[in-house]
Chains A and B, each alone.
Chain A
Amino acid sequence: MKNKRGYEFSYAWIFAIIIGAAIIFLAIYTVTQVIGLERFKQETKTGKKLGILLNPIATNLEQAKFATIIVPDETKVFNNCTLPSQSQFFGSQDISISAKQGNLGEPWPEETGAKVSFHNRFLFSSSATHANEEFYVLSKPFLYPFKIADLMILWSDKEYFCFDNPPAEISNDIERLDFPNIVEKTPTEPCPPSYTTVCFQGSSCSISVNLNSKTVTHGGSITVNYEDSFDDTDPYSLLYAAIFSNPEEYECQVQRLVSRASTLANLYKLKSENLNNECGRLSIQQDLEVYSTLASSSSTKLNDLNSIAGEIKEKNDALTPCRLFEKLD
C-alpha cells in the first residue's frame, strides 16, 4: 500500500489561522476608520479655524482689507449658504473642508469635514475653492444705505483672473492692494490664455459685467444682478462678490443680506425713537419702518429696496450733526 504522507492540520492550527485572519482584518479596518476619523476631525477643525480667521479681516471704517491664508496641505473649501428661515432669520454661512494629506498620488478624498456654520459671515467664492497653499480673502463693506455686512471674497492660488477694462475704482484696488492672481488687461499685455477673463465691456468672456444694467453673466448663460454699495467712492463691493461667486450661492447670500438689512433698519428705527426726535430724526423713522417691513419679506429682492434706501440716505445726510449712520461721499 502506498504511504500517503501529509500534514494534518490540527484543530488548534485551523482555529489560530481563522482567529488570526479575523484579528488582522479587524486591525486593518480599525486603523482605516481611525485615520478617516482623524482626517474628519482635522478638516472640521480647519473649517472652524478658517471661519475664525475671517473675524480680524472684517472692516471697521476701512474701504477694503486683504489677507492671505496659508494652508499646510492642498485644500478645498466648500462654500454653502443656507437661506434665511423662521428659525434662522439670518440664514447661515456653512464651510466644510477637504484636505489632501501626503503626496502619493492618492485620489482626492470624497468626504469632507463637518459643516461649520456662521450666521454673521458672508463668504463669496466658487462652490469649491481649491488651493495648493494659499487662499486670498478680500473684505469689503456693503452699505445699503447703512453698513449691512462685510463681504468676504475668496479665491485661491489655483484661480487666475484677468480684468478687461474695469472701472477706475476696481483698477485702483488691483493696483493698490496688489491682489495675487488678478491682472488687468492692458493694450500691450493681453490676457494670458489660462486666465478667467472678466470683461467690463463686451460679452465674449468667461464672465461678462454690464455696469449699466448691473448684471454679471457667467459662462454666457447664467446672469445675476448686483447693486451698487451706497459709498460713492467705492460702490463695487457686491460686484466683486458677483464676479467671484458661484451664481447659486451668490443669490442665497444676497437674500441673507436683505434679511440682515431688515433687522438693521429696525434697529436704527428703535435707536431714533429712543433719541426723542432730537435733530429731527422723526422724519426718517417712517422710512426705516417701510424698509424693514419690505426687507423682511422673503420675496423681496435687493433692488426692491433701492428707492427707499436712497430716501433714507438723503434724510440721514440732512441730519446734521446727529446722523443715525455716517454720510459717505
Chain B
Amino acid sequence: MTPLHHAGFLKNSTKAQMKIQQMAFLLVAITVFFSMIFLIYFSLSISSVRNSGTELQDEETKELVRKLSASPELAFTSSSDCSSCIDLDKALQISKIKDYEKLWNLNYLFIEIIRPSSTLPSDTECISSTTYPDNCNKITIIPEPENYATKTAFVTLVRWDPDINAPVGGYKYEFGRIHASPKTQDD
C-alpha cells in the first residue's frame, strides 16, 4: 500500500466512523423520543384510569347512600308505614358485627341524628344502655379514624320508644343524615 492509498483508506474510514456515529445517535434519539411518547401516554392513561375509578366510586357511594335505607340491615321493617326509614335500633347493633365492614364497599359509615334543640356536642356517640337513645347524636357503623369527605343523604330515623303510648310503647320518628365515604384505591 502506497502512502497515497493509505491516506485514502484513512479518509474513508473516518467517514464511515462518522456515519456509524450519526446512526447510533439517531438510534438513541429515536429511542428517547418514543420512550418519552410512551411515558406521556402512560402517565395520562394512568391518571385517567384513577379519575374514572374515583368518579365511579363516588357515584357508587352516592347511589348506595340513597338506597341504604332499603338494605335489610338498616331498613325499618317493623311496620309498613315508612318505606325509606332507617331502623335506629338495628343500626346501633350493626357495629357489633364485624362481618358488616365488608358488605358495603365503604370505609366510613355513620348516621347523624339531627336534634336542633339539643345542647349535646356534635359527634356524641350512641352507646347502648348508656347514651342511647336520647343523649347522643351519632351512630358509627363502619369506623374510620381519619377525617374523610363523605357523601350524605337525609333520612327518617325510627326507633322503639316505650314512653310513647305508655305502657304499650310506640315508634318515634326523627330526622337524620347518613354519611358514607367510599373505599379509596389505596384502601
**A-side interface residues toward B, CB under 8 Å?**
11-12, 15, 19, 23, 26, 30, 34, 37, 41, 45, 48-49, 51-52, 55-56, 58-62, 88-90, 118-120, 146-150, 260, 263-264, 266-268, 270-271, 274-275, 278-279, 321-326
Contact = CB atoms under 8 A, between A and B. Distances in A.
Contacts of B80: 61, 326
A266 B105 CA distance: 21
Interface in B120-178: 128-129, 160, 162, 168-170
B41 A58 contact: no
Q: Is the interface of B mostly helix, strand, loop or mixed?
A: helix
Contact of B69 (A51, A52, A60, A274): A60
B128 A322 contact: no
A263 B73 CA distance: 9
A48 B56 contact: yes
What 6 pairs across the A-B complex have the smallest Cβ distances? A55-B63, A270-B93, A60-B83, A89-B99, A61-B83, A147-B72
A271 B93 contact: yes
B40 interface: no
A103 B83 CA distance: 45
A30 to B, nearest CB: 8
B77 interface: yes
Interface stretch (B3-11, B84-92, B111-119): B84-92
A49 B56 contact: yes
A90 B99 contact: yes
A264 B96 CA distance: 12
Contacts of A324: 78
9 contacts: A12-B19, A19-B30, A60-B75, A149-B72, A263-B99, A267-B90, A267-B94, A274-B93, A326-B77
B19 A118 contact: no
* Residue with the highest number of chain A CB atoms closer than 10 Å, among B27, B38, B56: B56
A148 B96 CA distance: 19
A270 B96 contact: yes
A148 B83 CA distance: 16
Given A34-B41, A266-B97, A41 B168 contact: no
B93 A326 contact: no
